[in-house]
Amino acid sequence: MHAVILAGGRGVRLRPYTTAFPKPLVPIGDEYAILEVVLRQLRAAGFETVTIAIGHLGQLIRAYCGDGSQWGLSIHYWDEEVPLGTMGPIVANLDDVPEHFLVMNGDVLTDLDYASLLGGHVSSGAPITVSTYARTVKIDFGVLEIGGENADRIVAFREKPVESFSVSMGIYALSRETLRRYEPGQALGFDELVLDLLADGEALPRVHPFDGYWLDIGRPDDYDTANEEWEALRPKLLPDL
């Protein structure tokens, strides 16, 4: 099993922590970098090879992870000279990945079963499987629905509604041929890929719902939460250590 980890972003939302470090290398609980947690989890799940797409401060990621042998992995790198989005780095190196593989952001903490995600994807025949998480958002305002002949009438009203959504966790199982039609070297985001698949209407994206622990460390508040919860999280995220 093979995984591609996307670690080329500048981590702008997580400043000042990312001024000197790429986001995947910020430490959790003064013990492990986020990326190391992910790599250890992948190895425990049975993955043996990993490609890390690097860009901003990528030399630090390369120095930290090396060839991956310290975790029983074989790690290779793709260098992004210009940002190519979520899927662009894969398109540019499509022949370097197996027929089916995992793709994930390098700043996610979760106890998702990576092997189950990839195995379910292979069995499904879907072009891409997206791990999803249920989120509820409370709107702190009265929400008006506007309509009428001149679109100037209130036709419905909800006081501080609670909306539920399925959101992408930033972890996907992907089939190589799904990306074959795209031009190497061009930027391609996850959003564009999904919209193209929906427009085609032939092979729809598949979801892999998950209700365990998931934290996307995108903002300082998220990072603070991860550190505050680390002692309780550690046995869940790294049960073998």
Residue 101: CATH number of its domain: 3.90.550.10
In a domain, 101, yes or no: yes
- Extract the tokens encoding 167: 């959101």
162 lies in some domain:
no
Q: How many domains are contained in the chain?
A: 1
- For residue 192, the enclosing domain spans 2-132+168-237
Does 139 reside within a domain? no
What average pLDDT does range 196-225 have in this prediction?
Answer: 89
For residue 125, is pLDDT > 90? yes
Residue 82: per-residue pLDDT? 83
DSSP-assigned letter for residue 160: S
Q: Minimal CA–CA distance to 56: which of 108, 105, 106, 7?
A: 7
CB 168 within 8 A of CB 132: yes
61 lies in some domain = yes
Q: Does any domain span residue 44?
A: yes
The model's pTM is 0.87
The helix (H) or strand (E) run that includes residue 59 is helix 58-65
pLDDT over threshold 60, residue 17: no
